[in-house]
A and B are shown apart, each in its own frame.
Chain A
Amino acid sequence: MAIDVRREVPAPRARGSFLSDPKFRSVLYQVLVVGGVILVGWYLVNNTLSNLARQNIATGFGFLGRESSFAIGEHMISYSAADSYGRAILVGILNTIKVSLLGIVAATVLGTIVGIARLSSNWLVRKLALVYVEALRNVPLLLQLFLWYAVITESLPGPRQALQPVEGVFLSNRGFKIPTPSDHPAWDAALLAFLLALVISWIVQRRSAALQARTGRRLPVGIITAGLVIGLPLLTWGGFGAPLVFDVPRLQGFNFVGGATLTPEFAAMLIGLTTYTAAFIAEIVRSGIQAVSWGQTEAASALGLRPGLTLRLVVLPQALRVIIPPLTSQYLNLTKNSSLAVAIGYADLVSVLNTSINQTGQAIEGVALIMACFLTISLGISIFMNWYNKRIALVER
């Protein structure tokens, strides 16, 4: 234990030895501990490097610039085997972020619904939610991933017999193929219009809040937002003559070409991570809601609020303060669990770096990179959630 030196009463130097001086001793101990840690660290690094050199194992990060020579199935930025290891790793990082972020959003939505269902006054809904939570959180995630992957690849037909639920949409064991808007200025303009609509809606929402604070009346925000977000892009697109230009997937040779693909690996990861984490989030949401005293609900209904509004305006905002810290942990867990991707062939950070480690033999560098990347992503999530936590805490009166 460090002692706060400033508040120290001058120590009686009874026996005269400086060793019995508490101030000196506390400094001495701290110096010893820090020195020891540095020494051990230096020793380990030094030992590792000299051992690697003795065994003739390559070291250093020079490999990052070399050609990777391996292909990656799924990439958000352009990538080929002629690109560098560095770029391959970037592809992996982006894939990890993609599945983590989408998983976090989906798990939050699903978890909140299940958590509220756990408290439903309907017996069947309540029990179903309970079964969901207990079933999913008590089976190892890896098994669930294998299961989802097997369900997708084994139960869906091959590309030549693909199911076509809607014209142009195909479902096969190669994934879920959907048409995408092909290159046309109308689509770009519509996208811009959509973003603009979001901004305007946000302004309207703030105006409405200010208005409500002053006069107690609200603008019909929901209708305005919906109208803007749907109407504005539609109108813009119509202004270009409503061109129906799509890149529709079609069978060519072995597989579909064109359109966008949701691969079985990504789908299995996303479903697995979402449903698993949602079970934990449901419990957090349930306990958060239960932490809000029942009197709040009674007071709200005494004021004439309907149950739905009570939940949304009174209970959930207060529950959030209890929910956010453990929720942050679940977000971090989901992100770290995404490293199980390697088992079912989703090209996440770990999978790409494992391959790089094996092709270059540079395990220590590779593992260090994996740790650094996860640390960065996790810290990013933590910082954001802490910021959000502070923000909602400020509302407290």
Chain B
Amino acid sequence: MTKKILLAGAALLSLGVASAAQAGPTVDAIRQKGFIQCGSNTGLAGFGNPDSAGNWKGLDVDYCRAYAAAVLGDASKVRFTPLSAQQRFTALQSGEVDVLARNTTATLTRDTSLGLEFAPVNFYDGQGFMVQKSLNVTSAKQLAGATVCVQPGTTTELNLADFFRANNMQFTPVVIESQDEVVSAYFSGRCDVYTTDASGLAGTRASVAPKPEDHVILPELISKEPLAPAVRQGDPQWKDIVTWVHYAMLEAEEKGITQANVDQMMTSADPTVQRILGVTGEMGKALGLDNKWAYNVIKAVGNYGEVFERNVGAQTPLRLERGLNALWTKGGLQYGQPVR
């Protein structure tokens, strides 16, 4: 009896290990299952948020669609796993998701000790503070003694402590894991201040606040938050794809290729445009993809500027400026490397 159980156990174990060891490059696995599993936010307006009909919307979400368009030629072949700040890295490490596109700040510690690799930054952000307007606070330097709501496992939590330490001020943190709970603690008045990435503040104020006009976002940004998609270490091909999808979207914006005109652009005489859209050259093949990869991306989600405007731009409730996220030609930091 004991022996039988042991044998069965050993068999089970070796099975589990065998499949883990043989799991090939991510792209093969994606092609085989027919969709990309994308680690997303549990609900942050503008970045990753399921609407009332269950359709995911947001900048990070569009990136996942873009990867699906590039690899599978179909932007709808993507499934989303909502992840809290605490769950996200384990989910990526364990292979539960293929890519983590969830407003995640690239930092040295994360890059070196979590077994992951960051793709280029798809949103340059900084950490801000939101306070109740009735408190008449105009600067973060006036926050001494305040109670601050924050989510654990974030860079936010660390920057917050740094900021108060550097300015020799005291504060009381209220640390709650779930985004819904921490935000409702702030809106119920448990905290004077809610802090997170400025984009997140805008999203929360626009979509969750009972009365958005009762809350002000203070002018100071206390940190750099380069938000970047991440993949597991050890699969250079997949990392390249995630990287170059971003650059292709930037190049497309620079060259004026949009979701609407991408079909006309196929006949463009500009050799750069031809290379991006796969009319000439073998850019896709070099990535292990179809040469139409970037065409598919732009057809599905548009160029970077379009993705930005659609999800977080001036016409959305978040009303964010391009700012640092403008193209380098317009004074921003978004600089697409040449697709050639």
B-binding residues in A (CB < 8 A): 29, 32-33, 36, 40, 43-44, 47, 51-52, 54-58, 69-73, 80-82, 146, 150, 153-154, 158, 173-174, 252-255, 257, 264-265, 342-345, 347, 351, 354-355, 357-363
Contact = CB atoms under 8 A, between A and B. Distances in A.
Given A355-B175, A357-B86, 8 more contacts: A43-B13, A70-B158, A150-B188, A254-B147, A343-B177, A345-B174, A355-B152, A358-B153
Contacts of A257: 145
A57 B93 contact: yes
29 contacts: A32-B2, A40-B13, A43-B13, A47-B17, A52-B115, A55-B93, A55-B233, A56-B234, A57-B114, A69-B161, A69-B162, A70-B157, A71-B157, A71-B160, A71-B164, A254-B147, A255-B192, A264-B190, A342-B177, A343-B178, A344-B181, A345-B176, A351-B152, A351-B175, A358-B153, A359-B158, A361-B109, A361-B113, A361-B114
Given A40-B13, A57-B113, A255-B146, A153 B173 contact: no
A56 B93 CA distance: 10
A150 B178 CA distance: 14
Of A57, A71, A154, A255, the most chain B CB neighbours within 10 A belong to A71
Contacts of A343: 176-178, 181
A81 B173 CA distance: 11
Interface string B151-182: 01110011011101100000111111110011
A257 B165 CA distance: 19
A58 B113 contact: yes
A71 B146 CA distance: 13
B6 interface: yes
A55 B93 CA distance: 8
Contacts of A29: 2
Given A56-B233, A343-B181, A358-B85, A71 B188 contact: no
B54 interface: no
B3 interface: yes
Given A73-B174, A255-B147, A359-B153, A154 B165 contact: no
B244 interface: no
B9 A71 contact: no
Contacts of A360: 109, 113
B145 A255 contact: yes
Of B20, B135, B161, B178, the most chain A CB neighbours within 10 A belong to B161
Contacts of B109: 359-361
Of A33, A174, A347, the most chain B CB neighbours within 10 A belong to A174
B117 to A, nearest CB: 9
Nearest to B165: A81
Contacts of B144: 253
B190 A254 contact: no
A197 to B, nearest CB: 36
Nearest to B162: A69
B110 interface: yes
A157 to B, nearest CB: 8
Contacts of A51: 20
A56 B234 CA distance: 9
A146 B112 CA distance: 37
Nearest to B182: A345
B10 interface: yes
B206 interface: no
A353 to B, nearest CB: 10
A46 to B, nearest CB: 11
B139 interface: no
B90 interface: yes
Contact of B152 (A36, A56, A150, A358): A358
Nearest to A59: B113
A43 to B, nearest CB: 7
A70 B85 CA distance: 15
A40 B9 contact: yes
B89 interface: yes
Contact of B145 (A47, A69, A73, A253): A253
Contact of A71 (B13, B161, B181): B161
Contacts of A54: 234
A73 B189 contact: no
A142 to B, nearest CB: 11
A346 to B, nearest CB: 9
Contacts of A344: 176, 181
B195 to A, nearest CB: 12
Contact of B10 (A40, A57, A81, A359): A40
B185 interface: yes
B25 to A, nearest CB: 15
B238 to A, nearest CB: 14
A57 B85 CA distance: 18
A255 B93 CA distance: 42
A279 to B, nearest CB: 25
B232 interface: yes
Contacts of A43: 13
Contacts of A56: 112-113, 115, 233-234
A254 B161 contact: no
B175 A73 contact: yes
A174 B172 CA distance: 10
Which 7 residue pairs spanning A and B have beta carbons closest together?
A: A358-B153, A81-B161, A58-B113, A55-B115, A345-B176, A57-B115, A361-B114
Given A153-B185, A173-B188, A70 B114 contact: no
A36 B231 CA distance: 37
A243 B258 CA distance: 79
A378 to B, nearest CB: 24
A70 B156 CA distance: 10
Contacts of A70: 152, 157-158, 161, 173
Contacts of B110: 361
B176 A358 contact: no
B315 to A, nearest CB: 34
A254 B177 CA distance: 24
A174 B109 CA distance: 34
Contact of B86 (A33, A255, A358): A358
A32 B3 contact: yes
Nearest to B192: A254
